[in-house]
Amino acid sequence: MSNQNFVDYVKIFCRSGKGGAGSVHFHRALYVPQGGPDGGDGGRGGHVILRGNAQMWTLLHLKYRKHIFAKDGSNGMKSRKSGSDGEDVILDVPIGTIAKDAETGEVHCEISEDGQEYILVKGGRGGRGNDHFKTSTNQAPRYAQPGEEGQEFWKILELKVLADVGLVGFPNAGKSTLLASITAAKPKIASYAFTTLVPNLGIVSYRNDRSFIMADIPGIIEKAHEGKGIGHRFLRHIERNAVLLFMIPCDADDIKKQFKILINELKMYNPELLDKPRILAITKADLIDDELKEMIEKEVPDGIPTIFISAVANIGLTQLKDLLWKEITAPI
């Protein structure tokens, strides 16, 4: 999917339908000159509903659909007949979509299953007809409830990419190059920061016709959790990855420091991210000899599986797949 077609953030204006008014009517029939009230209730206004759709991967279909209006409910009728409910608007969204209030930032829901529905904006209730208001002292009420007004809000929809492996690293760590080497994905690759502006997904072929999904996610920078750089647009995609592959180039000034910064950014954004299995890949291994490799191994952080790779020279890629597969399939 091209960068232009991948949309993971939209802001939309939603308005639910107004409820129909209750009816003021009295029963009239032959030989019943003074029948009682029989006004029906108004119909409910239409809801704006989110629905999970496993066949969708992007919010592109909502990018240019900024205004979402549901239909109003119909008014009540005679003979206690209720008006019809307003037609709901159902917005199909990919699995992993979160809905927020645009003003307060409050998270309403996360769509996590195919077919899951959530009422984003409720329609107004229909008014009750005059039949509801008759009493022993008021047997002919000439009033009914008006329909409740609909609601309108600006809402934000954000998508979290689902992948087995998420690539974590600073800009130019070699994430896009790795993805292009071991999958059929064609991410943009260049020698400047933030070449990748949206997540790229690729399917990694493994032994015995097995496969797993890898996501190249925009590069992190220090203080990304505060929104610096691509900030939250990057970090939210990490939440739905099963395994995190940290990537640091062998020519980095301080590998241990870079790894510490990456870990800290994840921790500050969401401490639960540190519970995910993680692997460290030292990239651009074709640029160093065995002696330099031994020196770098001494700088590597303790307690994390580490591997030297080069996507360009095809060094260590098979071993990397084995390591990733082991983590993906490890029992929880």
Residue 3: name the closest of 135, 141, 194 by CA. 194
Residue 178 φ then ψ, to 5°: -65, -45
Q: Which residue matches tokens 């001494």?
A: 298
Q: Quick one: how far is CA 79 from the chain centroid?
A: 47
Structure-block tokens of residue 262: 């990456």
Query: What does the chain come to in residues?
Result: 332
Helix (H) or strand (E) holding 21: none
pTM for this one? 0.73
pLDDT given at position 174: 81
Distance CA 198, CA 54 (A): 20
Distance CA 145, CA 164 (A): 54
Q: What is the pLDDT of residues 105-114, one digit of tens each?
A: 999 999 999 9
pLDDT given at position 157: 96
Regions of the chain where pLDDT drops below 50: 1-3, 187-196, 224-225, 227-231
Distance CA 123, CA 164 (A): 39
Cα distances (Å, whole numbers) of residue 206 to 156, 259, 271, 279: 38, 28, 31, 18
pLDDT given at position 145: 95
pLDDT given at position 58: 86
Q: What is the pLDDT of residues 140-190, one digit of tens each?
A: 899 999 999 999 999 999 988 878 998 888 887 788 889 888 886 564 444
Domains in the chain with CATH codes: 1-159 (2.70.210.12), 163-328 (3.40.50.300)
Q: Which residue matches tokens 């077919």?
A: 115
pLDDT given at position 72: 98
Q: Which residue matches tokens 């929809």?
A: 157
